[in-house]
Amino acid sequence: MKYGYFNDKNREYVITNPRTPWPWINYLGNEDFFSLISNSGGGYSFYKDAKFRRLTRYRYNNVPMDDGGKYFYIKDGETIWSPGWKPCRTELDEYECRHGMNYTVISGEKNGIKTSVLYFVPLNTWAEVQKLTISNNSGEKRKIQLFSFVEWCLWNAAADMENFQRNFSTGEVEIADSVVYHKTEYKERRNHYAFYSVNAPVQGFDTDRESFFGLYNGFDHPQTVFDGKPRNSVAHGWSPIASHYIELELNPGESKDLVFVLGYIENSEEEKWESKGVINKRKAREIIDRFDTSQKVDSALDELRNYWDNLLSIFTVDSGDEKLDRIVNIWNQYQCMITFCFSRSASFFESGIGRGMGFRDSNQDLIGFVHQIPGRARERILDIASTQFQDGGCYHQYQPLTKRGNNDIGGGFNDDPLWLILGTTSYIKETGDFGILDEMVAFDNDMSVARTLFDHLTVSFDHVVNNLGPHGLPLIGRADWNDCLNLNCFSNDPNESFQTTENKSEGSKAESVMIAGLFVAYGRDYADLCRRRGREDEAARALNLVAEMVDTIKKFGWDGEWFIRAYDFFGRKVGSNENEEGKIFIESQGWCTMAGIGSDEGMCKKALDSVKERLDCEQGIVLNNPAFTKYIIEYGEISSYPAGYKENAAVFCHNNPWIMIGETVAGNGDRAWEYYRKICPSYLEEISDLHKTEPYVYGQMIAGKDAFRPGEAKNSWLTGTASWNFYAITQFILGIRPDYDGLIVDPCIPGSWKGFKVVRKFRNAVYNIEVLNPNGKSKGITELVVDGERQSSNVIPVFGDNREHSVKVIL
Ligand code: GLC
Ligand code: GLC
């Protein structure tokens, strides 16, 4: 069953039934000020950091689902309703939610009154703008009472949910004109306040939650709204809110617009106050003035649309398959941008207070958005690298507000450093900017020990070399990419974290074949980079070490039919036919086949066939098989999950593209495509009931064949799945791959495809690429013609001439 439809022309998903199987959300803002918004108006806002600068409250995992948001209540006689259906849940005559690129429009109609709210964060603005249009579609004159509503969060979202003995006494507001200002803690250590305005006179307001709702009422039953009477309450402590009350009279056919602005202001110490105890509102008034008419709001929305037109014009495919085109051209690229902004911090599955930016996550995310915003990718790489330690290890996470490593989790995840090589080389391949390698970058944020970014890559590479285990394979540390394979943590205490408990790391012997594969892949990239920098000796050293690793993997990492996953603390095989459960894992098959390890000896082919046979199922490729059915203390968290979920044999979508790419390296276009299609959300729209999460974005996991309910997805939006699938489809299946000297064209497609077209903007030129497949091949180019000239290789040269170039490719 579907709950809406794609409107590709407008780049929107249009939800027509508010009772989606899970809140289907969108993100507003793409720079400093952000909001999450569900299809019924739920969600919250924050400035930069969802933990430290939370503006409004949201209630995770509440009953009813999705409570807390930017709500509007309409009182029309005795009928009380909300345009997004929630929170009132009054049955609407019409309902529609249009999620677009960084904007959302929610509309409801009841008894001839239609209310439509456009929500977005204008470019370069620390505010969310809401344009509410209310229309009288009935034949008679109508009087309507309108109440807005937001609930302030007391800034630190974690403290806001626990320190009530303090919180209930600190809340402070000011009310002036039609604006509610939230200034809790402003007089002490904070230099910021928030405000909520409307561009019309109000006939009343509320700023105290209890006065607005009545103590025991829910969001669906604010007493003021039911009474049709605001209380003009002024919050002192407890829970401050902001609600405007507006009386409207509408003639038949008449429409009125109101513009609400929810903004965030920072003032320096000298300009904090207007007078004693009265905050300086100058900057707030400036923002309010920028959006005080509908025309101004509409032109800000146009700017946002242009911004997205631009971003999405860099890579477009015309494949003749609308499901593929819409995911590649619109939604997957959009999701990549969202992962850039939020890493794994704030979604409807990530509470915004848990994790900041992940070291490995952010580097992998980069491969999905570097073509769109190379300048910001550059900055991101330098930020990430600054949280590295001098020995090449690194903080696993950092906070976006402070850009400092997160001490609660620390380091010791031994795959982390290698991803910096992926992030950096992807950036240089896209832009040609080798200069980034000369940037001086701190270690652990300490500039006194700064070295060049190139040196950071060297220590990343050497961190593996310096941390080899008894078989000569890389030591796994706390975990590699799979956070739940905790081979050096023996935990019997439910109060310990699997990730940070290291009761066996002293003299640890657990080794990772996945890191070994990663080392081969990115070690070669590192060597390539060394050569391009004229560092032949270093390149040779690196290649020798890589060659040794290849031998080691063939010797100790091969199980006969597939690559083993790891060696546990005691040196026993993990992911081997010898094991009872967890005989085969996806990660090492992905990394070793992508790197082509043992391809001459037939290892890659065997490994990929084993994946097909043992891990593939209707929902995608599961992470391991057989799933673990009992807790194995030597393995840790992975065996804590019920079979078929998360890292224990779910289709963990992030790693499926590794196999897709492995298949393209082996030339199997049909299989690569089959795997791609299985987990791609636009192909799952019809089964939304089962799939549950948004059909326009990837989720982290889909319950696998061993699960109680296979096919159910979770953790939508913030996942490496977004960038890896974009990378797999565009660079390996469609095969348009940026490289140092140009654009490589190397498709690997199903034999039945007749061809496709791609427009790619690359280093200041536009390439109109047409791929034809007259002979039903999967891979291998017969002819490449650029601007009428036949090329001798499959690399399209860099022109950089701001012109369009025609590229014809025959497989
Ligand atoms: C989560 C984490 C990521 C990890 C993956 C597998 O997605 O964000 O860092 O690699 O799970 O455990
Ligand atoms: C849990 C999750 C994993 C995530 C990790 C982050 O282990 O299963 O996906 O990466 O938490 O700490």
Mean pLDDT over 710-716 rounds to 98
Round the average pLDDT of the chain to a whole number and report it.
Answer: 97
Q: Whose alpha carbon is nearest atom 7 of ligand 1?
A: 719
Please state the atom number of ligand 2 nearest to the C-alpha of residue 647: 8
Q: How far is the CA of 360 from the centre of ligand 1 (A)?
A: 9
Taking only the tens place, the pLDDT of each residue in 89-143 is 999 999 999 999 999 999 999 999 999 999 999 999 999 999 999 999 999 999 9
76 is catalytic: no
Which of 220, 416, 480, 483 is labelled catalytic? 483
Which ligand is in closest contact with the Cα of 497? 2
Report CA 778 to chain centroid distance, whole Å.
32
Q: How do 804-810 and 766-772 pair as beta strands?
A: parallel
Protein residues whose CB sits closer than 6 Å to any atom of ligand 1: 344, 358, 360-361, 481-484, 647, 654, 700, 719
Q: Does 720 have pLDDT greater than 70?
A: yes
Token pair in block for residue 224? 């003021």
Q: Is the model's pLDDT at 548 over the cut of 90?
A: yes
730 secondary structure, DSSP code: I
* 544 and 530 Cβ atoms separated by less than 8 Å: no
Cα–ligand 1 centroid distance for 698 (angstroms): 14
Residue 506 has pLDDT above 80, yes or no: no
Q: Between these two residues, 50 and 400, which has the higher pLDDT value?
A: 50
Q: Which of 478, 569, 568, 482 is nearest to 517 (CA)?
A: 482
Whole-number pLDDT of residue 509 = 86
Distance (Å) from CA 702 to ligand 1 centroid: 14
In tens, the pLDDT along 153-188 reads: 999 999 999 999 999 999 999 999 999 999 999 999
The protein residue with its alpha carbon nearest to ligand 2, atom 4, reads 483
Query: How far apart, in whole angstroms, are the C-alpha atoms of residue 92 and residue 81?
Result: 8
Question: Residue 654 CA: which ligand is closest?
Answer: 1
36-88 confidence digits (pLDDT tens): 999 999 999 999 999 999 999 999 999 999 999 999 999 999 999 999 999 99
pLDDT, position 504: 74
* Residue owning the nearest CA to atom 6 of ligand 1: 482
Q: Which is nearest to 636 in space by CA: 647, 625, 644?
A: 647
Q: How far apart are CA 494 and CA 173, in angstroms?
A: 42
C-alpha 700 – ligand 1 centre gap (Å): 9
- The answer on pLDDT for 507 being more than 90 is no
Best probe residue, ligand 2, of 501, 647, 714, 721 (max atoms within 8 Å of C-beta): 647
Average pLDDT over residues 618-632: 98
Q: Read off the pLDDT band of 18 (50, 70, 90).
A: very high
Mutate-to-test residue for ligand 2 from 355, 359, 409, 483, highest number of ligand atoms within 8 A of CB: 483
What does the angle CA 58 – CA 356 – CA 430 come to, to the nearest 5 degrees? 120
% of residues, the chain, pLDDT over 70 = 100
Mean pLDDT, to the nearest integer, of 533-542?
97
pLDDT tens digits for 189-223?
Answer: 999 999 999 999 999 999 999 999 999 999 999 99
What pLDDT does 523 receive?
A: 98
Return the sign of the alpha-carbon dihedral for residues 367, 563, 618, 704. negative
pLDDT tens track for 627-681: 999 999 999 999 999 999 999 999 999 999 999 999 999 999 999 999 999 999 9
The confidence score (pLDDT) of residue 505 equals: 64
d(CA 539, CA 383): 26
Q: Confidence band (pLDDT; 50, 70, 90) for 231?
A: very high
* Region of residue 99 (left: phi > 0; alpha: psi -120 to 50; beta: else): beta
Cβ-contact 456, 363 below 8 angstroms:
no
User: What interhelical angle do 416-431 and 374-385 show, nearest 10?
Assistant: 150
Say how far apart CA 378 and CA 428 lie, in whole Å: 9
Provide the pLDDT confidence category of residue 356 given band limits of 50, 70 and 90.
confident
User: Are the beta carbons of 237 and 163 closer than 8 angstroms?
Assistant: no
Spacing, Cα 652 to ligand 1 middle (Å): 9
Looking from the CA of residue 484, the nearest atom of ligand 2 is 7
Atom of ligand 1 nearest to the CA of 719: 7
Measure 344 CA to ligand 1 centroid, in angstroms: 9
For tokens 């027509």, the residue is 16
DSSP 8-state code for residue 656: H
Q: Give the pLDDT band (50/70/90) at residue 290.
A: very high
